[in-house]
């Protein structure tokens, strides 16, 4: 992200009036390598391909902000790998992390990993260290410490169904699990910030938050997100493209000031539930419109979304979630152009 893009992002979060409205997209391995002409596995294993693909997208769409920017990741395997999860790889498939906790009682033997040494985490740091000079030469800086959230990681370590069941049957063990994961996340964020002093944002992704009730979020989500976000950075960015109604009014208390959410709710609803105190990033349908629609469909969807919104403060136009597979260059450009036309 360039200095100007970062200043725009911070200004929107503070409620500043930006015209035209900014457009931004979360991009990572499900979309970027295939769009750029490479396999997912090549993207993960070849630093040159990783760099070239990220440079290609920022040069193709210079008007858009790409978040978190040069995302050094290994899909959903990144954090679970530090806990000993086996990573499953395919040439052009999304990697998958096998669970390591086969019963809630296994939580009692779980130890907090060292993000400097365990799993794929040192590779995340080294990739960015190797490429940092070229990233900065292109006018960009590493701005975000990135991690999956506590409930998301727990669901990979246990299995999603097993984790959700244990919330009700073994609450004390689940608190132990979430406490270990969260302390690990605090360490992991600190390691990233130490390696890259330009970091001034935290980006956490946790769709499992969308599958629990408000009461369960208050008990099992809120305190751990508060702990993970509790550091002195300007941007505290949260992604949950599962249903957000139950948690939305509590996210400011968690520390969140930028939210990417799904398509289950309208921008107007989310503005009301968050008291317009959190900047919203969304929410054009990612699959049905951005991936499967035509440029005309994208333009119509953007116009309808903006027309339905009385208050356009604290808004970044994007899709309702991360960039999905198979989105075309033409559809992305249609979104960017339409936002500029309608809000310039």
Q: Class assignment of domain 3-343?
A: alpha beta
**Residue with the two structure tokens 């900065």:** 136
Asked whether the beta carbons of 30 and 322 are under 8 A apart, the reply is yes
The alpha carbon of 36 is separated from its chain's Cα centroid by a whole number of angstroms, namely 20
**pLDDT band for position 344 (cuts 50, 70, 90):** confident
Task: Express each pLDDT in 245-262 by its tens digit.
Answer: 999 999 999 999 999 999
State percent of the chain over pLDDT 70: 100
Which residue in 184, 276, 197 sits closest to 232, CA to CA?
197
CA distance 98 to 116: 22
The average confidence (pLDDT) of the chain is 97
**Which pLDDT belongs to residue 295?**
98
Burial class from Cβ neighbours inside 10 Å (0-12, 13-18, 19+) for residue 287 reads middle
17 has pLDDT over 90: no
pLDDT at 124: 98
Q: Could you tell me what percent of the chain has a pLDDT over 90? A: 99
9 burial (CB, 10 Å; 0-12 / 13-18 / 19+) is: buried
Q: Which residue has the tokens 């629609």?
A: 293
Task: Compute how many other C-beta atoms are within 10 angstroms of the C-beta atom of residue 161.
Answer: 9
Bridge partners (DSSP) listed for residue 66: 25
> Which pTM was predicted?
0.97
Break the chain into its structural domains and give their ranges: 3-343
pLDDT digits (tens, 9 = 90+) for 107-125: 999 999 999 999 999 999 9
Q: What is the pLDDT of residues 56-112, one digit of tens each?
A: 999 999 999 999 999 999 999 999 999 999 999 999 999 999 999 999 999 999 999
**Are the C-beta atoms of residues 156 and 85 closer than 8 Å to each other?**
yes
d(CA 210, CA 262): 10
**Cβ-defined contacts of 106-112 (< 8 Å, 24+):** 107/173, 107/174, 107/176, 107/177, 108/173, 108/176, 110/83, 110/157, 110/176, 110/177, 110/180, 111/180, 112/180, 112/183, 112/184, 112/187
What mean pLDDT comes out for the span 287-307? 97
CB 141 within 8 A of CB 70: no
Per-residue pLDDT of 136-183, as tens digits, reads 999 999 999 999 999 999 999 999 999 999 999 999 999 999 999 999
Q: What is the mean pLDDT of residues 323-327?
A: 97
- Digit-coded pLDDT (tens) for 203-231: 999 999 999 999 999 999 999 999 999 99
**Across 35-53, average pLDDT:** 98
pLDDT over threshold 90, residue 268: yes
Burial of residue 14, with CB atoms counted within 10 A of its CB: 0-12 exposed, 13-18 middle, 19 or more buried: exposed
Q: Quick one: CA dihedral 38, 43, 49, 55, positive or negative? A: positive
């Amino acid at each position: 992200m360039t200095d100007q893009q970062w200043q725009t992002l911070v200004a929107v979060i503070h409620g500043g009036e930006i015209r035209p409205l900014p457009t931004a997209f979360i991009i990572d391995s499900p979309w970027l390598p295939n769009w750029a002409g490479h396999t997912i596995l090549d993207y993960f294993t070849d630093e040159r391909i990783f760099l070239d693909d990220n440079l290609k997208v920022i040069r193709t769409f210079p008007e858009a902000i790409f978040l978190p920017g040069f995302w050094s990741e290994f899909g959903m395997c990144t954090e679970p790998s530090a806990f000993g999860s086996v990573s499953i790889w395919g040439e052009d498939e999304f990697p998958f992390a096998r669970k390591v906790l086969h019963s809630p009682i296994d939580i009692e033997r779980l130890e907090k990993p060292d993000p400097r040494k365990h799993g794929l985490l040192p590779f995340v740091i080294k990739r960015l260290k190797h490429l940092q000079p070229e990233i900065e030469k292109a006018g960009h800086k590493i701005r975000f410490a990135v991690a999956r959230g506590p409930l998301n990681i727990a669901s990979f370590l246990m299995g999603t169904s097993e984790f959700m069941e244990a919330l009700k049957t073994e609450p004390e063990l689940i608190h132990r699990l979430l406490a270990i994961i969260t302390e690990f996340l605090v360490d992991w964020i600190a390691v990233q910030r130490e390696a890259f002093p330009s970091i001034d944002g935290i980006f956490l992704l946790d769709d499992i938050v969308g599958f629990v009730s408000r009461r369960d979020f208050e008990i099992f989500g809120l305190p751990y997100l508060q702990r993970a976000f509790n550091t002195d950075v300007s941007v505290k960015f949260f992604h949950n493209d599962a249903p957000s109604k139950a948690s939305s009014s509590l996210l400011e208390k968690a520390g969140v000031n930028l939210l990417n959410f799904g398509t289950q709710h309208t921008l107007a609803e989310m503005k009301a539930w968050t008291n317009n105190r959190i900047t919203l990033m969304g929410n054009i349908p990612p699959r049905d419109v951005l991936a499967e629609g035509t440029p005309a469909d994208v333009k119509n969807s953007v116009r309808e979304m903006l027309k339905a919104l009385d208050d356009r403060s604290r808004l970044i136009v994007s899709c309702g979630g991360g960039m999905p597979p198979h989105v075309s260059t033409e559809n992305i450009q249609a979104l960017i152009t339409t936002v500029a036309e309608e809000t310039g």
